[in-house]
Amino acid sequence: MQLRDGRWLRIEERRTSGGGTVGVRTDITDLKQRTLELATARDLAESANQRKSDYVHHLSHELRTPLTAVLGFAEILRDQLMGPPDNPRYREAAGQIVTAGDYMLELINNLLDLARIEAGRMELYEEPCNLSLLVDATAAMMAERAARGSVSLNWDVPPELPCLFGDPSLIRQMLTNLIGNAVKFTPAGGRIAVEAALESDGGLTLSVRDTGRGMATDKIPLALAAFCQAHDRMTVPEHGSGLGLPLTCALMSLHGGRLSIDSAPGEGTCVRLLFPAARVGVDEAA
């Protein structure tokens, strides 16, 4: 039985040879606590095993799909199924192979990065970063992809912003992930804006805002879970592995910052990278 103060007692009664009764009360609070801890640990282990199974299932699917495309188009080229080698459709098939190969390479790189982060082996190669130049280079690289989807991509990062102390390659990777997601979920004619600003607490926010499909608040945790998709794949012409946002979130944690998402169905999405004040205006490591 449990007492009002939270303690647990085990009460036992025994008959004596003389016909009497002996009652024994034992405080088993510690035993109950250990049992609860073991049950919690068991549930966590079972949940981890389930996540691992789901992880492997999704990974096999994400790799099998582009690999099937690679093999299929390679067979077309090998067997010249579309006629003489000078047929321009062979060039299209080769392009599909490159696209599928690039996707698999990106997926594997993201998986390796996540594994390094989870194992505590991801190192930051930090230096002062000119955020204006970094955004210019990254956004210009992604502009062609946005144009292919008839989406306008604009960026406005004041050159007078103080430098940001961090790993420039990882900051570029995070921004690429966010712009890529915005392009993916923004229909033709939509807009994407990349902005940066100082916050009142001295921190710095880098944001990517789009006029795309948006998502309900209860879908945001799904967007931040590896291999999960917050959008219905049947309504999205181009889908990814579901690793971009989880990886970006993990990389922000390594920088001592955080990622936030504001979104609503039909109203677009704004993803913000919030860097702490300790990383703003720092010319060299402390």
Choosing from 91, 118, 145, the residue where a domain stops is: 118
Whether the pLDDT of residue 235 is over 80: the answer is no
Whether the pLDDT of residue 285 is over 60: the answer is no
Per-residue pLDDT, 202: 94
CA–CA dist 218, 215 (Å, integer) = 8
Whether residues 249 and 167 share a domain: the answer is: yes
139-149: per-residue pLDDT in tens?
A: 999 998 899 89
78-101: per-residue pLDDT in tens?
A: 888 888 878 888 888 888 888 888
Predicted TM-score of the model (pTM): 0.69
Whether residues 221 and 156 share a domain: the answer is: yes
Whether the pLDDT of residue 43 is over 90: the answer is no
Per-residue pLDDT, 52: 67
Query: Is 258 within 8 Å of 274 (Cβ atoms)?
Result: yes
195: amino acid identity, one letter? E
CA–CA dist 175, 178 (Å, integer) = 5
Per-residue pLDDT, 226: 67
Residue 270 has which token pair?
């704004």
Per-residue pLDDT, 121: 86
Confidence of residue 109 (pLDDT cuts 50, 70, 90): confident
Whether residues 146 and 165 share a domain: the answer is: yes
Per-residue pLDDT, 239: 53
Whether residues 149 and 198 share a domain: the answer is: yes
Per-residue pLDDT, 186: 93
Whether residues 183 and 272 share a domain: the answer is: yes
User: Taking the chain, what is the end-to-end CA distance rounded to the nearest angstrom?
Assistant: 57
Whether residues 272 and 149 share a domain: the answer is: yes
Whether residues 80 and 221 share a domain: the answer is: no
Lowest mean per-residue pLDDT among 55-69, 134-148, 188-202, 238-252:
55-69
Higher pLDDT: 25 or 282? It is: 25
Confidence of residue 232 (pLDDT cuts 50, 70, 90): very low
Choosing from 118, 139, 166, the residue where a domain stops is: 118
Per-residue pLDDT, 283: 64
Whether residues 86 and 201 share a domain: the answer is: no
Beta bridge partners of 194: 155, 208
Whether residues 139 and 107 share a domain: the answer is: no
Residue 46 located in a structural domain = no
- Beta strands 258-264; 268-275: pairing state: antiparallel
Whether the pLDDT of residue 233 is over 70: the answer is no
Whether residues 140 and 229 share a domain: the answer is: yes
- C-alpha triplet 177, 180, 183: angle, nearest 5°: 150
Whether residues 171 and 242 share a domain: the answer is: yes
Higher pLDDT: 17 or 138? It is: 138
Confidence of residue 33 (pLDDT cuts 50, 70, 90): confident
